[in-house]
Amino acid sequence: MTSPAPGRPLRADAQRNRAKVLAAAEEVFADLGTSASTEEVARRAGVGIGTVFRHFPTKESLLEAVLVTLVERLAGEAEELRAADDAGAAFFGFFSRVVAQAAAKQAVTEALAEAGVDARGVTGRAGPGLKDAIGALLVRAQRAGAVRSDVEAGEVMALLAGMSYAAGHAGVGSDVLRIAFDGLRPR
């Protein structure tokens, strides 16, 4: 990704264009897969192709930015849910949303892997925030008696990763979520 000179923020119009490109790219890659063209991203964003490449010099850098944005958004959602009145509903609702959004994220992750980019490295700066926020949701749900006390954050992250992977490949129905949730609830 290109950025302005060090210490110099993007102009307001450039920030808006970058945000429009990212939103359009997320939509295009979810709708058409990651083989969709950057021209289609530009068209949906309502900007010229030069604007796309000014912010993201390669398609891989655009895919990386989309993935980081998705992870940061999830971390923000989880953080907001820490104050929810019903800790169990917040935890299970967040889990369901992550799995539901997984298909788009999976396509981006696979495209990065095909390009030789490790998605874990790409999300490195956002990933710890997501793990911490999920851990806080888990602890609240456990204290509320909605989730078994012997479940650890790493296990929840593994479940989320597995369910997200499955959702991106075969589609995960409500029965699979119900089974996972039954395993997380106190016996």
* CA gap 109, 63 in Å, rounded: 8
Q: Quote the DSSP letter at residue 85.
A: S
Decide if pLDDT at 187 tops 90: no
68 vs 168, higher pLDDT? 68
Q: What is the mean pLDDT of residues 11-37?
A: 88
Q: What is the mean pLDDT of residues 124-128?
A: 64
Q: What is the mean pLDDT of residues 91-97?
A: 91
Q: What is the mean pLDDT of residues 121-149?
A: 84
pLDDT at 115: 56
CA-based end-to-end distance of the chain: 49
Contacts of residue 6, defined as CB under 8 A and 6 or more positions apart, other chains included, come to: none
Decide if pLDDT at 171 tops 80: no
Domain parsing of the chain, residue ranges: 10-57, 59-184
pLDDT at 3: 47
Tokens standing for residue 23: 């939103």
H-type helices in the chain, by residue range? 12-32, 38-45, 49-55, 59-81, 87-100, 102-114, 119-122, 127-143, 153-169, 174-184
The per-residue pLDDT of the chain, averaged, comes to: 83
Q: What is the mean pLDDT of residues 82-106?
A: 85
Architecture of domain 59-184: Orthogonal Bundle (1.10)
Closest CA to 14 of 23, 4, 26: 4
Decide if pLDDT at 14 tops 50: yes
Closest CA to 80 of 69, 93, 68: 93
pLDDT at 174: 65
Same fold, 10-57 and 59-184: no
* CA gap 60, 67 in Å, rounded: 10
Decide if pLDDT at 39 tops 90: yes
Q: For the segment 52-91, what is each residue's pLDDT rounded down to a tens digit?
A: 999 999 998 998 888 888 888 888 898 899 899 999 999 9
For domain 10-57, the CATH class is mainly alpha
Q: What is the mean pLDDT of residues 147-154?
A: 94
